[in-house]
Amino acid sequence: MASLGRVPDDGRIALVTGANRGIGREVVRQLAERGYTAVLGSRDLDKGRAAAEGLGPGVEPRRLDVADDRSVRELVAALEREFGRLDVLVNNAAIDYDTWQRGVDADLDIVHEALETNLFGAWRTTQACLPLLRRSRHGRIVNVSSGAGALSDMGGGTPAYRVSKTALNALTRILGSELRGDGILVNSVCPGWVATDMGGPGGRPVDEGAAGVMWAVLLPDDGPTGGFFRDGRPIDW
């Protein structure tokens, strides 16, 4: 993987959704370690506060349910008041890794639930944050996706999760093109199979998965946008 770059020297602000555990929490830790003010978004504020313990003074736990318009608006309004801008948005929140389902007889309520968080949650949060991101000199949006959403070798099973991540990748392409003129880089990152509550045991360490997300956060201003990456290398859609 390419170098993660320099420690920021201008007080950059980052928001990570779904960050009270797993990859999201580790991304927050790595951001704070590199000098960012890292806003740890969590549906349950108490869990967010517990997750923030030991991560350093630069971590700010906040309530955020990406599936709830009001919750998103309230957090963005708080970011506006407190910081006046946002430099990085990591859309990490995701649910329903439905390995038990097949497309032919999937429970569409579960599919809808997955889309509401994994796709629309990222979409509504991005839209709400755009005014703040446009005030940054180094705006970055990182959509935490998955190789499970790649069409290039997609098979059966896990329909809700797969479809939601494929759609998230399409959103990355659209936003990458539309925001290029604003200097905001938008990329999808597959962290690989990581040993988390969602990924289960046997995967790579969480710090390695989070490092791929950090690579996209720390891209230079002339870096790629609208791409799909794992460990800093392009992968097939």
Residues 97, 161, 215, 229: which is the catalytic one? Answer: 161
161 is catalytic: yes
Element (H, E) at 112: helix 108-118
Closest to 59 in 3D by CA, of 29, 80, 81, 18? 29
Please name which of 33, 87, 39 lies closest in space to residue 56, comparing C-alpha atoms: 33
> What is the C-alpha separation between 40 and 28, in angstroms, rounded?
7
Q: How far is residue 18's CA from residue 44's CA, in Å, rounded to a whole number? A: 10
Which residue has 């690579």 as its token pair?
Answer: 215
What type of residue sits at position 176? G
Active site residues: 161
